[in-house]
Structure 1
Amino acid sequence: MKRVAIVGGGVAGLAAAYELARQARNGASLQVVLFEASTRLGGIIETVHEGEFVIECGPDAWVTEKPWARELAEELGLGAEVMPSNDATRKTYVLVDKKLQAMPDGMRMMVPVDLDSLGASELFSAGAKLAYHEELGRAEELRAEAPDEDESVAEFVRRHFGQEVLTKIGAPLLSGVFGGDVTKLSVQAVMAPFVAMEREHGSLIAALQARDAGVKKHSVFTTLRSGMGTLVDRMIATIPEDWIRLAAEVRFVSYGDEGWLVGTARGVERFDAVMMAAPIDVACSLLEPVDAEMAPLMAMEASSAVVVAFGFPDAAKFPVPPGFGFLVPPGSDSLLLAATFVDQKFEDRVPQGGRLVRAFFGCKAAERLMRCGNDETAAVARMELARILGPLPEPQVTVVRRWPRSLPQYAVGHLERMKRLDARASVLDGLSLLGNGYRGVGVPDLIRDARVAARRIVGKSESLTGVAEL
């Protein structure tokens, strides 16, 4: 019987345990222990239900074009729960000169597909619009000069569209996802599809126009009607209870002739394999005594996040612009990173006639709010929202969550470091590195990696849809 330790009960650790449990039911001889330091599973995925409000404390959806979260939801019997975002009314705003300016329709990240819509936009200056149009004519030049080596997101966007586009859209979009500095973020790691487009087409606009021609459009985001927490709950329900240990902080791991040893306050246990799904800071400290050369490869900057959600019973008393929400470029006179108009982004998130708004803080603002109590944090969020949207009525529901160092920053050279890290890890028989510090930060990426690793442990070669993208 193969003994497997899973260190960390976030979505990656749970997906690994789910897959191992599935393999065990199919006859694999396994004994598994999932160690979670806190008293709950799911990591930053958490859904609060209060007064008919469905409030996400972490990610509120996944990117539709990545299939692995949807596949898992359907396996778990949640197919009827799968729900698209309201893309017919999708509109995102950017705070410019203390006013919300709408992004042009048909944008993919910072790349427009519809240049006519771009022309009607008030977000960009004439110079930025010209830069967009000229990018189409520079296709051969851009393709010929596409670098083989990695570069920052900032350098990549500037080469195609210039500084204004980077400042107004590129920086807030990428900061919202990765909480990082676009002058440091690796374009090959965080915008790989766009790098591939450049190498094939040169012009990103031309590439997207060719890709979208005649293709049925899907919603950008997908979620579960009862909330992302349902995905966690369903996975937990499939995992044998005696596999799960809460409030079980792993204090050390070691590797030798006898295999893996995992130590907690309860004692030391031997395992044949370790699936390290703890936050990368924790994983780094646990694995450094095992292989000192891994630690520098795992060391990376990470950003904290603070989420504050307000539920209002009467949307008429708090009007917001139509659309999904707004982004705040770095350097703006606001502590906010972004805000989401949740009741307009998804159906069934509020009681009849209600309104739900989530405020996001990242980087330095989040670090400051980490030291504040819930009441003070909520007061800051209300003040910052009011400065942009106007006075807020008294909320019926307020939810505050802090996620310290939850967003690892994939710096330039990240993919090369991960290759070297994987090479080191492969020498340690039975070690898997899972979580958002390695090969993607989205929920689908974490699920894909965890399930592939679990199948590898039990010697199964069957793959998931799109696993070739690993």
Structure 2
Amino acid sequence: MPLSAQAGLVRLLVVGGGITGLAAAWEAIRGSEGLPPAEVVLVEAADTFGGKVRTEVVDSLLIEHGPDSFVAYRPAALKLIEELGLADQVISISGTRTVYLRSRGRLRPLPSGMGMVLPTKLWPFVTTGILSPLDKLRAGFDLLLPRRLRNGQDTTIGAFLRARLGGGIVQRFADPMVGGIYGASVDELSLDAVLPSLRADEAKYRSLMLASLAAGRKARSAARGPSSPFRTLNGGLGSLISALVEQLTAAGVSLHTGLSVDRLTPLPGGGAEARFSDGSTQHFDAVVLAAGVEGSEELLKAAAPAAAAALAQVPLATSTVLSLAYPAEAFANPVTTHGWLEADPAPISGITVSSAKWAGRAPVDTVLIRAFVPGRLGAIAEAPEAELIAAVTDHVGGVLGAQRPPTSVRVSRWPRMMPKYTLGHLDRVAAVEAGLANLPCWRVAGSPLRGVGVPDCVADGRRQADLALTAAALGRVRVEE
């Protein structure tokens, strides 16, 4: 068995210092039920922790280079925040939530009660100007159609929704909303990997509309507190990373930036020998790979080629965020909307007005906007920075009626870092796990396989750490026997 620097403790190596890896380390030091806390070494190849979660304060502007919030109905992020003692820093959306869809050249308010793809209130959906009368009539056929899905047969979100609700729902709601989050067209995305609840809804209710309306009634009857599910922290999501790093360091976790793993070699008993980029080697009882698709795949090639090959089949997309700061007087009317999504051709998929959506993001005389450019938009996403900035500022300024350009622009490009959960994604997940069956103390965690949101990454980092440590502890017991 690998030797522990601290007698009796299982040694865990976490590769990757984003939110997934940090959450894995946090789980390991807390000690799961029946398991003692572990000795943890975490290495991050970049010079900072946090991965895509990065907050910067510049000239009194709080700029989020990656995600700016998380959803409260997936509890893993809130639970972690509470454990870190940050619960008093959680904030919800400021003011009345006003979100628009730009459709047929106009900004149109999203119907009240509109979910990700389906309405939870009937009348606002019937009266919305986003859909044509024919689109609404076609969506109503869902109330009459029989069940369409077969057990065990995955399909794309787009194909399923077109069959049940028609193309209008897909083009005007599903693709801007779901595609915007997952960085791909709904005609690529797996129903079972991204929106498995739709399969369950059809099985239970037959009609997706009936299921969504029933869910809306239930949610309204149980509603307490803020109506929006979105939350963030006063100091931005980067403060979650800072708190994790600070408290992990205080707990004795060995945290390293600018250090990568060059090779992992299996050891008898299920552990691993890690060779680091500085030439050193160490032995570990368990490993959690939280280094993204490409980083994790590279480390699995020699020891688990089948798992590496399956991981390599997960497609990757590039995403870009532009943070634009305008003087408030650049606009004839106050910018109070929280943002809009694009259903029309545009150089962006949507915007968030951070200064209206969240308190404390910008001075009162400044409008701070985040514009999103996913790789699926094609050439503009790969354009040189100056060309990209010009296209985005022209479009955003034109829609909002800006009378002058932004005074500050920050561009955050994330090349090939967004996993796309395309058709067959769950088969790829199963293939990765099967490829690691002979290495139960090695786990792959995070967005490549099991969810792209902050709560998903936190939950999976913790779960994979627990599984790796449990396997290591069981292996140690067998050896001792």
> Do the two structures share a fold, i.e. TM-score over 0.5?
yes
Unpaired stretches in structure 2, ≥5 consecutive residues: 1-8, 472-481
After TM superposition, give the deviation of residue 105 of structure 1 in Å.
Answer: 1.3
Are the structure 2 counterparts of residues 407 and 430 from structure 1 closer, same or farther at C-alpha, using a change threshold of 3 Å?
Answer: same
Matched, 1:456 2:463: no
Cα contact 1:377–1:400 (8 A) shared by 2: no
**Which residue of 85, 99, 106 maps to 2:93?**
85
| Code of the aligned partner of 2:371 | A
Write the distance in 1 (CA, Å) between the matches of 2:328 and 2:394: 19
SS state of the match for residue 214, structure 2? helix
Q: Please give the alpha-carbon distance, in whole angstroms, between the structure 1 residues aligned to 2:438 and 2:314.
A: 22
> Of the candidates 246, 262, 279, which is equivalent to residue 257 of structure 2?
246
Letter in 2 for 1:238: Q
1:343 to 339, 350, 355: 355
Query: Contact 2:353–2:369 (CA<8 Å) still a contact in 1?
Result: yes
Distance of 2:54 and 2:462 partners within structure 1: 21
- Cα drift, residue 122 of structure 1: 1.0
Tell me, in whole angstroms, the C-alpha distance in 2 between the residues paired with 1:237 and 1:10: 14
Alignment of 1:419-430 (within 5 A): 419-430=430-441
Find 1:183's aligned residue among 180, 187, 207: 187
Equivalents in 2 of 1:350, 1:391: separation in Å? 18
What is the match of residue 300 of structure 1?
Answer: 314
* Aligned counterpart in structure 1 of residue 325 of structure 2, from 297, 305, 311: 311
In structure 2, relative to structure 1, the CA distance for the partners of 1:32 and 1:91 (3 Å cut) is same
Secondary structure of 1:293's partner?
A: helix
In the alignment, which residue of structure 1 is the partner of 2:115? 108
Q: Which residue of 1 aligns with 2:3?
A: none
User: 1:96 maps to what in 2?
Assistant: 103
Q: Which residue of 2 aligns with 1:356?
A: 368
Q: Secondary structure at the match of 1:439?
A: coil
Does structure 1 retain, via aligned residues, the 8 Å contact 2:315–2:419?
yes
> What letter matches 2:255 in structure 1?
I
Letter in 2 for 1:303: A
- Measured after TM superposition, the shift of residue 78 of structure 1 is 1.0
What is residue 219 of structure 1 aligned with on the other side?
228
Mark the CA change 1:370 to 1:7 in structure 2 (over 3 Å): closer, same or farther.
farther
Q: How many Å separate the matches in 2 of 1:176 and 1:191?
A: 14
Task: Give the superposition deviation at 1:95.
Answer: 2.2
Residues 370, 14 of structure 1: alpha-carbon distance in 2 compared, 3 angstrom cutoff: farther
Residues 278-304 of structure 1, C-alpha deviation per residue, up to 9 Å, x if partnerless?
A: 011221122122122112321221111
Greater alpha carbon shift after TM alignment, 28-37 vs 219-228: 28-37
The SS at the match of 2:436 is: helix
CA offset at residue 263 of structure 1?
Answer: 1.8
Distance 1:432 1:320 in 2: 50
Shift of 1:417: 2.4
Equivalent-residue separation in structure 1 for 2:170 and 2:44 (angstroms): 40
Report 1:258-277 matches (<5 A). Answer: 259-267=271-279, 268-277=281-290
Q: Does structure 1 residue 39 correspond to structure 2 residue 53?
A: no
Greater shift after overlay, 73-82 or 248-257? 248-257
Provide closer, same or farther for how the CA distance between residues 358 and 92 of structure 1 changes in structure 2, counting only shifts above 3 A: same
CA contact (8 A) 2:44 2:257 kept: yes
| Counterpart amino acid of residue 96 in structure 1 | S
Q: Which of 47, 60, 82 is 1:74 aligned to?
A: 82
* Partner of residue 149, structure 2: 146
| Contact preservation (8 Å) 1:318, 1:393 | no
Q: How far apart, CA to CA, are the structure 2 residues paired with 1:348 and 1:320? A: 17
Deviation track 1:6-63 (CA, whole Å, cap 9, x = no partner) reads: 1111110011112223339x99363321111100000000111223322211111111
Does the Cα contact within 8 Å between 2:338 and 2:356 map onto a contact in 1? yes
1:287–1:346 CA distance, 2 compared to 1 (3 A): same
* Kept after mapping to 2: 8 A contact 1:313/1:351: no
Q: How does 1:6-17 map to 2 (within 5 A)?
A: 6-17=14-25
2:127 corresponding residue in structure 1: 120
Q: Which runs of 5+ in 1 are unaligned?
A: 461-470
State the shift of 1:364 in Å. Answer: 4.6
Q: Does structure 2 retain, via aligned residues, the 8 Å contact 1:8–1:35?
A: yes
Deviations 1:319-373 (A, max 9, x none): 47643211123xx432111111122222222212431111110115477555624
* SS of match in other structure, 1:112: coil
348-357 or 445-454, which deviates more: 348-357
Aligned-pair distance for 1:212? Answer: 2.8
On the 8 A contact 2:120/2:215 being kept in 1, the answer is: no
In the aligned structure 2, how far is the partner of 1:450 from the partner of 1:39? 21
| Residues matched between the structures, number | 451
1:392-420 alpha-carbon deviations (Å, 9 max, x no partner) = 53434322111111211111121132123
Q: Confirm or deny: 8 A CA contact 2:122 2:213 kept in the other structure.
A: no
1:230 and 2:239 equivalent? yes
Is the 1:320–1:389 contact (alpha carbons within 8 Å) kept by the matching residues of 2?
A: no
Match of 1:380 among 375, 391, 406: 391
Q: 1:131 aligns with which of 133, 138, 160?
A: 138
Structure 1 length as normaliser, TM-score? 0.90
Distance 2:351 2:118 in 1: 21
Question: Alpha-carbon deviation of 1:242?
Answer: 5.9
CA–CA distance in 1 between the matches of 2:246 and 2:282?
25
Provide the secondary structure at the position in 2 that maps to 1:21: helix
Asked if structure 2 preserves the Cα contact closer than 8 Å seen for 1:93 and 1:101, the reply is yes
* Cα distance per residue 1:230-281 (max 9 Å; x no partner): 1111111111266111111222222242731222222222211110000112
- The question of whether the paired residues in 2 share the 8 Å contact of 1:81 and 1:224 is answered with yes
Name the counterpart of 1:466.
Answer: none
1:202 aligns with 2:206: yes
Contact 1:382 1:392 in 2 (8 A): no
Tell me the percent identity.
28
Of 21, 37, 41, 2:29 maps to 21
